[in-house]
Chains A and B, each alone.
Chain A
C-alpha cells in the first residue's frame, strides 16, 4: 500500500460509504473470464475479491477416465499460451514414475521447443500488457514475431497453437530438415525487434509512470504465498526451477537468471516484473542457439513404450513454465489410467496475492497489477 494512501487518513467531517464495483467476466482487460469484486472508497481500492471458475473444464476428472497417452492433448489446453511447457512437465513426471530414460536428441529438442514457447508466451504477455495500459502498437509488433515462432512450430508438428507433440518417452515427429536454419534466421531477426519493443514500451516515460512503484510484492510475502516464476524474480530473488530442481539437460547450458532491481521505482513493482520477462526472452535466445549447436542425431521415438502401465505409486514433478513453476502430482494404481492427477498451476497461486498488491491503489492500477502478474484463466480453472 502506498505511504500517502487515503485509506490511512480518513476525514470524519463528511459521511462516506464504500462502493462495490464489479469487473465482470466480460471485460477487455481481465485476460480471460475472471470476475473481480472491487470494494472502493471513492477511487481507492480497499479490497479485491477474485471469483474464478468460469472456465473450469474438469481436467482432473478427464484424466481419471483417459489412458496416459490420451491425456497429453488435455494438458495442452490448460495453459494455452505455453502448451509445450505443460506437455513437458507431464512427460517428465511420467518418465520419473516409469523410470524411462529418453535419448539425448529428444532432450535437446524438448529444451528448444520449451524455450521457443517461452519467447512466444512472453510476447503475448508483453503485447497484451501494453494494450491494457493503452499502448496498442507494441501488441501488433509482438504478434508479428509470435507468428514467426508459430510457423516454426507448424513445420514441426502441424499445429499452430495446441501441439500434442511431447509424448511420454519421446516426441511425435522428428524435426523438419529446414528447422535449424529457419530457427537461426528467426533469432537473428528477433534480437533487433526486441530492442525496438524495448525502445517503444519499456523505457517510455508514460509506461514507467503507470507501472513503477505500483503493486510492490515483498519477498517474504511472495514465498509464503508460493508465488514463483517472473513474479518472484521481479522481487529480487534468483529462484528458477531450472537451477534449483534441475530437470532434463538444462545444466549443460550457460544462461543467466534475470531479477528485478528496482531501476525506475522500488524492487518488486510492476515494471520489474514486466522487465524480467523482457530479459528472459534474451536468455531463451542464448539457450536455443547453444542447443542448436550441440544437437545430436538419434531416433526420437525409440523410447516410447508400447503400453503404459506404471507401477503403483505417486510422483510429483515440476517444470519452469513461463508463468511460474508448474507441478504435476500423479497417483497411479497400476492400471492404464491414472488414479488421481493434480496440477499445481502457477497462476492459481499467483492470483491470491492480488488482494495484497492492490490495497490502496486506484482502480486503473488494478488493471496494471493484474497485467503484470500475467495470468491465464485456463490454468487457474483447469
Chain B
C-alpha cells in the first residue's frame, strides 16, 4: 500500500525526462499531472511494475476548462492486489485536444474514451474505434458538455428546445 508521494517518486525515477507534477493542496485527494502524449507509456509502467500493479482503471472522465483554454482528462486507477489508488490528470489545448489512448493497457478505457470524445471533442490518438457513442452518429451541432455549447433549433425535423 503506497502513498501518492511514494508513487510520484517511483514515477519520477523511471521517467526522468517527462514533465510530472504532484498537486496535493486541494481537499480529499492528491493529483499526479502528466503530459498528454506520454500517458500510454506511463500507464503501461503503472500496470506492469511489480511495486505498483495498477491493474484496474476505475474511471476516466473529461473536464472542460474554458478560462484556462484547456481540456483535461482525469484517470482514477486502483490496484486490486496491493490496495492503493491514484488519480492522474492530463491537460491539452482546447483548440487542438490530443491525448494518447490507454486502451492497450486497460481494455475498459475504450468506451470511456469514446464518451470523452463524444461529449468534449478530445481526440485519442491510436484509439481502435473513435466515434460517437451516446449522441446520434450524425450529430453535427458540436460537443454537448463543453461550457460554451449551444442547442440547435431543429434535429431531423424535431424541435429540440422546450
For chain A residues 212-229, which have a beta carbon within 8 Å of chain B?
A: 221, 223-227
Chain B residues whose C-beta falls within 8 Å of the C-beta of A223 in the assembled complex: 55-56, 80
B residues 99-156 in Cβ contact with A at 8 Å:
106-108, 110-111, 119, 132-136, 144-145
B56-85 vs A, Cβ < 8 Å mask (1 yes, 0 no)? 111101011000000000101000100100
A344 contacts which chain B residues (CB < 8 A)?
Answer: 58-59, 61
Would you call the interface of chain A mostly helix, strand, loop, or mixed?
A: mixed
Does B59 contact A351, Cβ atoms closer than 8 Å? no
Q: Would you call B19 an interface residue if the criterion is a C-beta within 8 Å of the partner chain's C-beta atoms?
A: no
* Partner pick for B107 among A224, A314, A339, CB 8 A cutoff: A224
Measured in the bound complex, the distance between the Cα atoms of B145 and A244 in whole Å is 33
- Whether A188 sits at the interface, judged by CB under 8 Å, is no
- How does the 8 Å CB contact mask read for A306-350 relative to B, with 1 for contact and 0 for none? 000001111110100000010101010000000110101000110
Are B28 and A58 touching (Cβ within 8 A)? no
* Contact, CB under 8 Å: A352 / B110: yes
* Contact pick for B61, options A96, A225, A329, CB 8 Å: A329
Tell me how many residue pairs across A and B have CB atoms closer than 8 Å: 86
Across the interface, do B76 and A96 meet the contact criterion of CB distance under 8 Å? no
Query: Is A52 an interface residue when CB atoms closer than 8 A count as contact?
Result: yes
CB of B26 closer than 8 Å to a CB of A: yes
Query: Do A331 and B63 have beta carbons less than 8 Å apart?
Result: yes
Q: Are A351 and B63 in contact (CB under 8 A)?
A: no
* Chain B neighbourhood of A221, CB < 8 A: 107
- Taking CB atoms, residues of chain B closer than 8 Å to A97 are 27-28
Closest Cβ of chain B to A64, distance in Å, is 8
* Alpha-carbon gap, A344 to B145, bound state (A): 16
Q: Is A60 an interface residue (CB 8 A)?
A: yes
Q: Quick check: is A53 within 8 A (CB to CB) of the other chain?
A: yes
A221-243: which residues lie under 8 A (CB-CB) from chain B?
221, 223-227, 239
A61 at the interface (CB under 8 A from B): yes
Q: Which residues of A contact B106 (CB under 8 A)?
A: 224-226
Q: For A61, give its contact among B76, B80, B83, B145 (CB under 8 Å).
A: B145
Given A311-B27, A314-B26, A315-B28, decide whether A340 and B135 contact each other with a Cβ distance below 8 A. Answer: no
Known pairs A226-B108, A314-B29; A327 contacts B59 (CB<8 A): yes
Query: Bound state CA distance, A56 and B63, in angstroms?
Result: 19
Does A115 belong to the interface (CB within 8 Å)?
no
B87 within 8 Å of A by Cβ? yes
Given known contacts A314-B29, A348-B111, A239 and B58 CB-to-CB distance under 8 angstroms: no
B-binding residues in A (CB < 8 A): 52-53, 56, 58, 60-61, 96-97, 99, 221, 223-227, 239, 244, 311-316, 318, 325, 327, 329, 331, 339-340, 342, 344, 348-349, 351-352, 381
A-B contact list, 13 entries, CB within 8 Å: A52-B134, A97-B28, A224-B55, A224-B106, A225-B106, A226-B57, A226-B108, A227-B108, A314-B74, A315-B27, A315-B29, A318-B58, A327-B58
Chain B residues near A (Cβ < 8 Å): 26-29, 31, 55-59, 61, 63-64, 74, 76, 80, 83, 87, 106-108, 110-111, 119, 132-136, 144-145
